[in-house]
A and B are shown apart, each in its own frame.
Chain A
Amino acid sequence: MSATGIGAPVRRKEDYRFITGKGQYTDDLTRPGQTYITFVRSPHAHARIRRIDASAAKGMPGVVAVLTGADLAADKVGSLICGWAITSKDGSPMKMAPHPAIANTKANHVGDPVAVVVAETQAQAKDAAEKVVVDYEVLPAVVDPAKAQAKSAPQIHEVAPGNTIYEWHLGDQKAVEAAFKGAKHVTRLDIVNNRLVPNAMEPRAAIAEYDAGNDSLTLWNTTQNPHVARLVISAFVGIAPEHKLRVIAPDVGGGFGSKIFIYPEEVVCLWAARKVNRPVKWVSERTEAFVADAHGRDHVTHAEMAFDGEGKILALRAKTIANLGAYMSTFSSSVPTYLYATLLSGQYEIPQIYCEVDAVYTNTVPVDAYRGAGRPEATFVVERLVEVGAREMQIDPADLRRRNFVKKFPHQTPVIMAYDAGDYNASLKKAMELADVKGFAKRKRESARAGKLRGLGYSTYIEACGIAPSQAVGSLGAGVGLWESAEVRVNPTGSVEVLTGCHQHGQGHETTFAQVVSDRLGIPIENVSVVHGDTDKVQFGMGTYGSRSGAVGISAIVKALDKVEAKAKKVASHLLEAAEADIVFENGQFKVAGTDKVAAFGDVALNAYIAHKFSGQELEPGLKEGSFYDPTNFTFPAGCHICEVEVDTETGQVEVVAWTAVDDFGKVINPMIVEGQVHGGIAQGVGQALLENTTYDTDGQLVTGSYMDYTMPRADNLPSFRVETTETLAPSNPLGIKGCGEAGAIASPAAVINAITDALGTEEIAMPATPAAVWAALQKVNQSRKAAE
């Protein structure tokens, strides 16, 4: 391993600009003549828009335009869409309601845009927005997914009777019922997977600029996938043809899924920029983000697991209601279906699985993928069932897991996925050693002496990453292919630019991708730059989410590098006057096998461009190759997280006192970056388990609408983490990469709740396990203990 090659903890190339304040986020950019836009948003969860009076607003200083949903409709701007078609069990298609970028007749959640003001300054736009008078007829609202399908519930969209988007299922219901009949033990759980607000620290922002001379538009946008944004905005919303729309994602400050989606705001900025013929800038405020950015999770589930007398799992069944909010966001339909039910086999051999999912509309902010997307929900169901099952059957939870682990690969689960490689025993064993599970009983006694309850919880999770084989996802309803593309451009001086369709917003691609190139071509890492985030520069791309940039994005780079090497060998054969078959490439040098003739990589690059050593008939000049890589399978990162907590019985305060993670991500390019990804994921999962809740009142007002009420994990809520890896290579891609971005968030909530319930001696604790909730649970335990005495 070289100091900058694959496997080295190379310090990040991108850091210099961030630590010196020279990052260029969307809000840091200014366009000449720029105006500012402010969204007037519905204060009601459900209300008919009777009339909008903009006359006072139009007269305010600095106002350039006031625009409404009626103007948008008059200009025939298309609806936003959900790009993954799900079919109900009765064969009917999902009920996708129109989603205008500005509501025209009815507002369907608090925060739904109803008008916009464009003005010379941000302050003027905000002042004028206050003067837009909207006459609402307030309608009853529904926010609870478990109540959305009730006959008495208010109807949100005409196309979706009973607010039901789809009633979907997966698996063999009859076989599952039969398996349950033969069970020795059945574990049952009711689970609420709490709604979360992603809260990337950089609020979303957009600048749109119209070039009247060329009739083209440019959008600077906080997006994780600029090409997909361009495709949707062009093909579906119809703002501009694809070749007349340029989308640039500059530095983006975190995404976690929330910046995948195509939102109303960027569409409106583009439309308004053309209308006022000036650049239009929007920067979300944090409080605005709470009602404008897609939320995550929000499942209500009943789940059961059947065991035989030896603790072998016979079957699993689950019924889930998934809240998709007021509109179907870009990928929302896939999250509680193909990203959820397909992972219900966990790391276990489960002969039969059946899952039903009803997706519903409510008068809440749309819900879509958030770090893990479906897989944290699945892991929580499986890992809670296994843990509780072990406790009920009085089997050691690690032992029960071992008895049921998949041990032979490939393994076909009953829910589509075919696991290709893994060693679940290895990660469990290593995690148990590192966490000193043997010493837990002693630590528990010590805690008890200090008046505290100590608990230990496991989560042996699996996820499907490397999203995704295009044919496979196409057959499941995806509207796009999920390959990735790369171009490797070798310059005449031997430096290299890698153009990737992935986008970084914290992941460190500028470093890891350069490591792969430096390793392969034997050139210094300083001589490699990574270009991303601009549809005018990068050939095409599907963006970054689903832990796909390593497994899919790097694989595309490797394929392009293969072609570069093949072409360079041809050039070298002319340069060294040897047969192409005799040229070998080692340590950055082209050699003629069995001789001492060599040419440095830089010499070959130069000769590829000056083209003096070969004729145009023999070889094309240049050294630049591209590739599109379509994965042959998902990848299956898996591992074991062990959480240890201490509960203060007086206050209900839970302290996470130790965290051990052992993950199998396949080949690791940069262990420092991978560990950082795991840390961040765990923190988000601990946030879900202990702190973060999204509360709507029955009128549909978001009660937790700012950092005053929504508890973000802070440094003193978290421990330091012990993070290690095991390695089985993913057989489906050239380097064996599995992906690491979401693992922490997928594994951790179950580990925390398993630890808390272990400490408390009751399974009845919902997320987030706030001090109040834990204290209340403890009182219940004490009361039932007293009653029993």
Chain B
Amino acid sequence: MPAVSMTVNGKPATADVEPRTLLVQFLRENLRLTGTHVGCDTSQCGACVVHVDGKAVKSCTMLAIQAEGANVTTIEGLANGSQLHPMQEAFREHHGLQCGFCTPGMIMTAVDMVNRKGNELDDHTIREELEGNICRCTGYHNIVKAIAAGARSMGTGGARKAAE
């Protein structure tokens, strides 16, 4: 079994894995970082989104060995200690989650969206950008609100930038 090494949430992580091991399996099973979820088997739901070298990636669509040497951030690594990331805060404040299963992927996608598109996001942009994330609970209304608010608060002085 080949060895794979990467940095996950700022810490080095190394393991021997079967070549077919997906990044999401490596995170969930080898590192026990179970905040990243698996909601489908066709790369469509986005429950598994993490950041690889600062970019949103569906971790079910990448082999662990492809992430060799990469810098990976998962939902567990987003907050700064006990201080929540502004996007996490916004999801709570705007009731952007119900069962919570899609939520880690939604939040990681949202942070990436802000990194790419800036802090002023209109509803239309947010809805288009959520193309790769499915939520069955919320009807998206409050997710869209949360992302708009989270984006703004990521831009204001008090809040720090995304973890990367």
Contacts and interface: CB of A to CB of B under 8 A. Distances in A.
B88 interface: yes
B35 A21 contact: yes
- Please tell me the size bucket of the interface on B: 35 or more
Contact of A15 (B37, B91, B128, B143): B91
Given A20-B84, A201-B47, A506-B100, A12 B92 contact: yes
Contact of A18 (B18, B32, B97, B130): B97
Nearest to A676: B95
Contact of B92 (A15, A707, A714): A15
B43 to A, nearest CB: 9
Interface string A340-371: 00000000000000000000000000000000
A17 B103 CA distance: 11
A200 B136 CA distance: 6
Interface stretch (A247-255, A533-541, A621-629, A749-757): A247-255
B75 interface: yes
A706 interface: yes
A202 B134 contact: no
A286 B84 contact: no
Interface in B69-111: 74-76, 78-79, 84, 88, 91-93, 95, 97-104, 107
Contact of A201 (B39, B75, B131): B39
A672 B141 CA distance: 12
B57 interface: no
B144 A254 contact: no
Contacts of B37: 25, 27, 201-202, 253
A679 interface: yes
B40 interface: yes
Chain A residues touching B, majority SS: loop
B99 A287 contact: no
Contacts of B34: 21, 24-25, 27-28
B11 to A, nearest CB: 15
B138 A679 contact: yes
B40 A707 contact: yes
- Please tell me the size bucket of the interface on A: 35 or more
B137 A201 contact: yes
Contacts of B100: 14-15, 17-19, 23, 251, 253, 506
B93 A21 contact: no
Nearest to B134: A712
A123 interface: yes
A105 interface: no
B13 interface: no
A756 B141 CA distance: 22
Contact of A254 (B91, B101, B126): B101
Interface string A673-711: 101110111111000000000000000000000111000
Given A203-B39, A286-B42, A21 B101 contact: no
Interface in A2-37: 11-12, 14-25, 27-28, 30
A27 B95 contact: no
Contacts of B39: 201-203, 286
A720 B123 contact: yes
A715 interface: yes
Contact of A716 (B47, B76, B95, B131): B131
Interface of A: 11-12, 14-25, 27-28, 30, 123, 199-203, 251-254, 256, 285-287, 505-508, 672-673, 675-677, 679-684, 706-708, 712-716, 718, 720-721, 744
Q: Which 7 A-B pairs have the closest CB atoms?
A: A21-B35, A253-B101, A18-B100, A683-B139, A506-B99, A506-B98, A21-B75
Interface of B: 18, 20, 28, 32-42, 44-45, 47, 74-76, 78-79, 84, 88, 91-93, 95, 97-104, 107, 123, 126-128, 130-131, 133-144
Given A16-B92, A201-B99, A676-B137, 13 more contacts: A14-B100, A15-B100, A19-B92, A20-B76, A23-B101, A24-B34, A201-B136, A253-B101, A253-B102, A683-B139, A708-B42, A715-B135, A721-B139
16 contacts: A11-B92, A15-B92, A19-B103, A20-B35, A30-B32, A200-B99, A251-B100, A254-B98, A506-B98, A672-B95, A673-B95, A676-B141, A706-B40, A706-B41, A714-B130, A744-B139
